[in-house]
Structure 1
């Protein structure tokens, strides 16, 4: 591969020079620093996470906050300047790079990580994947919602090789979303579900008190945008299968395995509440799609221990799941539209905090009882399902996520579908 030169980086600078003049010093001088960087990377270097650009990425600042709005505006200015100075180089994606590897592609990656602010110029340019590079790559991965394992896989390369022009557009699109919806996030306590990040924030007094990994809707069964208020928690819920799941999932499964309903504690109920024998139904048709399918509470219930309700026209809710291993998946877009919550008992305990008589102990005891128990919150907690795929929560910390529902206007940002 032809070696990247300073001339190659600065080719596009003229067109956007006016924008560059307004950018902060961090962005103005970054390419000069990269190309003047000394050669380093020997294994006897003392590791310094700060010098490597390994500052913490996680923040207690809510995505919807005036601070995030300010930082995102600053990030846009920085990315405008990076674009004006020629952007960053494409990193060859044919090799697995990780700590201990010595390869020419490592130098290209180090240069790329310097330009985006993940790797300090003090770490220098080298073909050695050293501890500086390891910390910087993990920082990059965390900013992009990827497993911070310090190993270059297909999703890391895909995120790394999105051009700064496209990233700039993504930031501008999401700044508009933040501006348009900021007024909805002024409550003292609220829950925010960020769909492309597959993450939930419980916010109180302007700070995130807990974050929860989520599983949200598939591309063909998308989680909707919602503004509502959580008014009920159901411990040991029944699961009532929506018609779409009966039609798309249950009927095809019954055709393959006539015992599927029995094995999964799902009953078919008539209008008067009586139970209908599945053997009396012709499963070669879709007549059953209009019937009421209800799963008993229990460990294999689709919602496991708890369901979180809030009024909305989509029949959408949040819930626990018996499939806890799914929270470890990189692409957590696997539901039929509702939102599964990791560590949901912590979230529910926070929601029930002001409801008399519902301590954590009573909540856990009720789960163990196996009894279906609806609990009305004494004070409803606002909940917002939103779509933010790019934001910044600190100086130099810019987050990007996969545009899973293709709402950002550029196919290259829908990486999970392109790979």
Structure 2
């Protein structure tokens, strides 16, 4: 079941787990009539009327080679806006009033509501019936819905999936319209090769000649330490990097940790230097004050280094960068908003090799050899690669597939889209 991640909607989500706490969907007679017209419309479900295996349907949603930042994406969003306007004009979609988890085998009236909900949004074919039994056809449709919302496609209506399903059609339409403006502003020529970090999707694309060559999961900034929107050029890869702690982490994290555990810096191979470059023993610092903020905190290369094997550098006023991490388990999380503003990259070696394709002598064997040596090594890129950090929480791809993500930083302006916790 999807984990509960919402603060602003916590009371609502909690009530989803209490029998009888959610009122059944009634609506006005006109709205019900309009919804039934949508359900019976011959144009519903035309994304996949054959309704093949769930895995294939999910694969079609996630495996497109179309970049998020492309003119084609903006074109498809325009088409999605027209379809969603029709859905809104016809009364939107019904709420799903579940008081327990819905999955294969469950019999409940909420299963009927789920069918109708997914038919209206085009995830389930119009001929899927009106059964109250959760069957494998509905399982495939739900997994498709979850995939295009960036969720774990487990086929279970848990709290988070339920909350997303019950975001109203007018709000989703507004989200598409807001993001169309963002996409249009970025749909010009971005470079023959470029890297894009989509913050609300916590995802990275490496794009070459208008096609996505690689996708990587990312870990981006917490809501109180947000990853900035920016554009720059990647000019350097550092293998076995030193990590220098930013003042924000020194103040918010390291000083409080040293007050509790005076061995923290030594155990984590972090050394202190004054402004003249002289090393300062940790025991010489008064940790009851903030005097340590004026020192430089540098962590030696190694497996426990905060950037692990690799740092990707690009000039920017925010002092952020992309990097590896020893905390690989975080990439398995649904919500990946855990950093202090920098971007952690899953399978960073593949992205590194892609960046170094134009740098002679830096093939896979050499990169692996240098990483294994543990020696700090700066590798300038022969050809600098544009990099863009963007905030796109809704987009569309070929085949009429519409993607939505949580408005994690509250930039879409609608509380209903902020499904995750503000304290991540």
**TM-score by structure 1 length?**
0.90
The answer (yes or no) to whether the contact 2:190–2:386 under 8 Å persists in 1 is no
Are residues 308 and 133 of structure 1, via their aligned partners in 2, closer, same or farther at CA, if it must alter by over 3 Å? same
Question: 1:238 offset after TM fit, Å?
Answer: 0.1
Are residues 300 and 49 of structure 1, via their aligned partners in 2, closer, same or farther at CA, if it must alter by over 3 Å? same
SS in 2 for 1:271: coil
- Superposed CA deviations along residues 217-240 of structure 1, whole A, max 9, x for unmatched, are 011100001100100000000000
Structure number with the bigger relative contact order (C-alpha 8 A, sep ≥ 6) is 2
Alignment partner, residue 98 of structure 1: 103
Question: 1:401 offset after TM fit, Å?
Answer: 0.2
Alignment partner, residue 400 of structure 1: 404
Matches within 5 A, 1:53-202: 56-58=60-62, 59-183=64-188, 185-202=189-206
| 1:308 aligned residue (309, 312, 317) | 312
Superposition RMSD in Å: 2.3
| Structure 1 unaligned spans of 5+ | 14-26, 38-45
Question: 1:163 offset after TM fit, Å?
Answer: 0.2
SS in 1 for 2:61: coil
The answer (yes or no) to whether the contact 1:254–1:283 under 8 Å persists in 2 is yes
Moved over 4 A (4+): 1-6, 52-55
Alignment partner, residue 32 of structure 1: 40
* 2:297 counterpart of 1:289: no
The answer (yes or no) to whether the contact 1:9–1:88 under 8 Å persists in 2 is no
Distance in 2, Cα, partners of 1:315 & 1:386: 17
The answer (yes or no) to whether the contact 1:412–1:418 under 8 Å persists in 2 is no
* 2:280 counterpart of 1:276: yes
Distance in 2, Cα, partners of 1:194 & 1:385: 6
Distance in 1, Cα, partners of 2:51 & 2:148: 21
Distance in 2, Cα, partners of 1:225 & 1:5: 41
Distance in 1, Cα, partners of 2:301 & 2:257: 21
Alignment partner, residue 215 of structure 2: 211
| Structure 2 unaligned spans of 5+ | 1-22
Distance in 1, Cα, partners of 2:226 & 2:178: 20
Are residues 352 and 79 of structure 1, via their aligned partners in 2, closer, same or farther at CA, if it must alter by over 3 Å? same
The answer (yes or no) to whether the contact 2:25–2:94 under 8 Å persists in 1 is no
* 2:31 counterpart of 1:9: yes
The answer (yes or no) to whether the contact 1:201–1:210 under 8 Å persists in 2 is yes
Distance in 2, Cα, partners of 1:316 & 1:406: 21
Distance in 1, Cα, partners of 2:351 & 2:310: 11
